[in-house]
Amino acid sequence: MRKLLIAAAMALALGSSVEAAPLEAYGRLPAIESVEIAPDGSAIALIATVNDERHVIVRSLDGQLLAKATIGLNKIRSVKWADPEHVLIEVSTTAGIDEVAYVGEQFQAVSLNVRTGEYKQLPFKAIDTVLNVVAGRLQPGFDGKTPVLYTPLYVTVKGNMQARSGHLDLFKIDLDSGLARRVQMGDNDTYDYLAKADGTVLAKASHRDNERDERATWTMSLRKGASWQTVFTTTSAIETPSLWGVTPDGQAIVIDTWDDAEKLWRPTPVSLVDGKLGAFIGPAVEQDALIGDDGVVLAFTRRKGETDEYEFVEPRMKALWPAYRNAFKGQQVTLASWTPDFRKLVLFVTGPSSPGGYYIADTTTRRVDPIGSPYPKIAAGDVGVVRAVRYKAADGLEIEGVLTLPKGKAEKNLPLIVLPHGGPRYHDDVTFDWWAQAIASRGYAVLQPNFRGSTGYGNAFKEAGYGEWGAKMQTDLSDGVAYLAREGVVDPKRVCIFGGSYGGYAALAGVTLQKGVYRCAVSLAGLSDLGKYYNDYQLRRGAYSSTMRDMQRLMGVESGGDPKLSARSPLDQAAKADAPILLIHGKDDTVVPFAHSQKMANALRTAGKPYEFVVLDGEDHWLSKSPTRLQMLTAAMTFIEKNNPPN
């Protein structure tokens, strides 16, 4: 077994190239993703990009094409199997819902019948007050012997959709007819349900904002006969628990509760028998969970060194996993899909030395075979070296970053691109990153700082970011530049900054709020007007919502008119820009509206500052289309090479 696994791991490390791969190899959408194994282990379903078009492909393990679907103008987001004959496809489109939702990314479900090749929107038929959008988890199951989908749908009263008259109900939807029937009625505070595969409702989670005391109430209730039993309630204005799933033995529900001694949220079992809370699960560190489509919590994940690792609670996987994990040492191994009996697993492996790949593992024969790579045109020889770096910010806080180095260049006096992540609640890992690798392939070192406020580093590190939007969150980036310059790795006179979303804001702030650090800035969908963004966010999310309160905490203000926001807005500081700026923005962006770049362009033009503006027609916030994603990358690298040549 060991030899087979090592051979599979070596397949990721093979390959070399004399010249760098073209930008197209990085900038197109992944060739394959969302690879899922059928419940009976006979076939796989995946999303494939062919000639810039997204398809759902279903094929047998020997390569025979079983079914194929292209869902019109919708963007295909993920696939999962409902049963051996049906694949569930999650799609989205940029749209608004009259009197219900502002224009945003609306998600829907489609069922593909592998045997007939037909697909059906879910729900296709329902009472006319049901919104045909995904409003929660998609949980395959059965109604007797009939395969169905259990999922929450929002039910409302026509003409009164924003007056809290609606409620989130749990429905079962026939996968062939699309007919939806209610399983459990909810209320306007319920936002999540947990059910068994036969439709038996186990629990629900509710959340209610409270305007008067600036707190919110989170409640978990267990279904007991014909009524609900409230078993856990907590109040918090911002952070609340989540309803994760059920334990493998089916005896408890897992939520996360606050550990006041350790100052973090920790997974906690709640007995389905008596509703009592058990002891915290696992060590006192930040944890996430691996949850199956059936709602069963298989494992908890936590950072160990530079990778995220599983701690399995499912006994069969606990015994199986070490051999497969150890075969890919030094890389991130993700359990992407599995059969219910764990006889077949789909693994996704990525790391600092390969573009990543999917594998299918047969735990009975102990055979591991490659399925394919998301980036087949990038050889291992094209991948720049990736490693973690740690440095002290000006106030002494330790910052961890990810450094990607260009192939074939000495680690000395390199030109540098600072690539801050979006979110800002996110963090970058020491793995293959198509964006960073594309930049490095042109001869640049790339620094991705996990500035204060980033996830994955504990509560104190998160709190260090409160009120530091545009302040210490910004100087954490330039402190990384100074560190690499002191180490002799980069030339401090040849540095640009490039980012998307919050990272796009940081790029703009780097040349308007700061001076003399960067030779150019590239902002992809970056915020330019913090006051406008604050007010829009409040309008969409609600003045007393937990997400709005978190935004207030990050920005350090309680009003969109606070002078601090103007002082930290690149739009209001455009006249101070000290380097050329490239603005790139999708016309269909509903997270950071297109107007942020449009107004920034006008302000730069009025101030007589050098800038360029690239419009991505029909593109959203996530670069969901292959042509515009490549357009973004090509424009950005052309601009960077002009203003900060790599040689």
Closest CA to 173 of 215, 138, 209: 138
178: left (phi over 0), alpha (psi -120 to 50) or beta: left
pLDDT of the residue at 627: 95
Q: 565 near 505, Cβ under 8 Å?
A: no
The residue ranking higher by pLDDT, 291 or 237, is 291
Mean per-residue pLDDT, 541-551: 86
Q: Are residues 426 and 518 in the same domain?
A: yes
Residue 480's CB is within 10 A of a number of other CB atoms, namely 27
Residue 226 included in any domain: no
Q: Are residues 573 and 504 in the same domain?
A: yes
pLDDT of the residue at 93: 87
Alpha helices (H) in 48-111, listed in sequence order: none
Q: Are residues 327 and 465 in the same domain?
A: no
pLDDT of the residue at 150: 96
Q: Are residues 390 and 361 in the same domain?
A: no
pTM of the entire predicted model: 0.92
Mean per-residue pLDDT, 13-31: 75
Tell me which amino acid residue 395 is: D
Q: Which of 378, 403, 425 is the last residue of a domain?
A: 378
pLDDT of the residue at 12: 39
Strand partners, 208: 217
Q: Which of 119-133, 159-173, 250-264, 433-447 has the lowest mean pLDDT?
A: 159-173
Q: Are residues 426 and 502 in the same domain?
A: yes
123 preceded by cis ω (within 30°)?
yes
Residue 14 has pLDDT above 60, yes or no: no
- Cα(222)–Cα(618) distance, integer angstroms: 44
Tell me which amino acid residue 408 is: G
Residue 546 included in any domain: no
For 123, half-sphere exposure in the C-beta direction (CA atoms, 13 angstrom radius) is 24
- Cα(465)–Cα(484) distance, integer angstroms: 23
Residue 606 included in any domain: yes
Mean per-residue pLDDT, 67-80: 88
Q: Tokens 């500052």 map to which residue? A: 609
Q: Which of 345, 362, 378 is the last residue of a domain?
A: 378
Residue 128 included in any domain: no
pLDDT band at residue 1, thresholds of 50, 70 and 90?
very low
Residue 521 has pLDDT above 80, yes or no: yes
Residue 185's CB is within 10 A of a number of other CB atoms, namely 11
Mean per-residue pLDDT, 520-547: 93
Q: What is the CATH number of the domain that holds 503?
A: 3.40.50.1820
Mean per-residue pLDDT, 350-360: 91
> The sheet that has 215-224: what strands, in order across it?
190-195, 201-210, 215-224, 227-235
DSSP 197: T
**Dihedrals φ, ψ of 599, to 5°?**
-70, -35
Q: Tokens 């070490």 map to which residue? A: 322
**Which letter, b or e, does each residue of 55-65 get, where b requires 16 or more Cβ atoms within 10 Å of its Cβ?**
ebbbbebeeee
pLDDT of the residue at 15: 35
pLDDT of the residue at 16: 37
pLDDT of the residue at 99: 66
Residue 189 included in any domain: no
Q: Are residues 590 and 451 in the same domain?
A: yes
DSSP tally for the chain: helices H, then strands E: 12, 34
Q: In this structure, what token pair is assigned to residue 315?
A: 């006994």
Q: Which of 378, 393, 416 is the last residue of a domain?
A: 378
Q: Which of 101-110, 194-203, 206-215, 232-241 has the lowest mean pLDDT?
A: 206-215
pLDDT of the residue at 128: 57
Q: 440 near 405, Cβ under 8 Å?
A: yes
CA distances from 349 to 8, 62, 151, 359 (A): 10, 22, 31, 8
Q: Are residues 367 and 388 in the same domain?
A: no
Q: Which of 230-234, 422-426, 543-547, 553-557 has the lowest mean pLDDT?
A: 543-547
Closest CA to 457 of 330, 303, 351: 303
pLDDT of the residue at 214: 66
**Burial category of 230 from C-beta neighbours within 10 Å (exposed 0-12, middle 13-18, buried 19 and up):** exposed
Q: Which domain holds residue 393?
A: 384-529+569-643
- Mean of pLDDT over the chain: 91
Q: Are residues 314 and 452 in the same domain?
A: no
Q: Which of 85-99, 456-470, 624-638 has the lowest mean pLDDT?
A: 85-99
Mean per-residue pLDDT, 494-520: 98
Helix orientation angle between 315-326 and 2-13, rounded to the nearest 10 degrees = 50
Angle at Cα 119 formed by Cα 624 and Cα 143, nearest 5°?
A: 115
- Cα(370)–Cα(8) distance, integer angstroms: 7
Q: Are residues 374 and 394 in the same domain?
A: no
Strand residue runs (E) in 247-365: 252-259, 264-271, 288-291, 297-304, 307-312, 332-338, 344-351, 354-362
Percent of the chain at pLDDT exceeding 70: 94
pLDDT digits (tens, 9 = 90+) for 457-472: 888 999 999 999 999 9
Residue 159 has pLDDT above 80, yes or no: no
pLDDT of the residue at 188: 83
pLDDT of the residue at 381: 87
Alpha helices (H) in 190-337, listed in sequence order: 315-326
- Cα(104)–Cα(263) distance, integer angstroms: 34
The residue ranking higher by pLDDT, 387 or 159, is 387
Residue 140 included in any domain: no
Q: Are residues 475 and 587 in the same domain?
A: yes
Q: Are residues 424 and 358 in the same domain?
A: no
Closest CA to 643 of 588, 595, 580: 580
Residue 456 included in any domain: yes
Residue 209's CB is within 10 A of a number of other CB atoms, namely 17
CA distances from 262 to 464, 506, 593 (A): 16, 32, 39
Q: 459 near 285, Cβ under 8 Å?
A: no
Residue 499 included in any domain: yes
Give how many domains the chain has, as a whole number. Answer: 2
CA distances from 168 to 123, 160, 204, 244 (A): 15, 15, 11, 18
Q: Are residues 482 and 388 in the same domain?
A: yes
- Cα(75)–Cα(161) distance, integer angstroms: 26
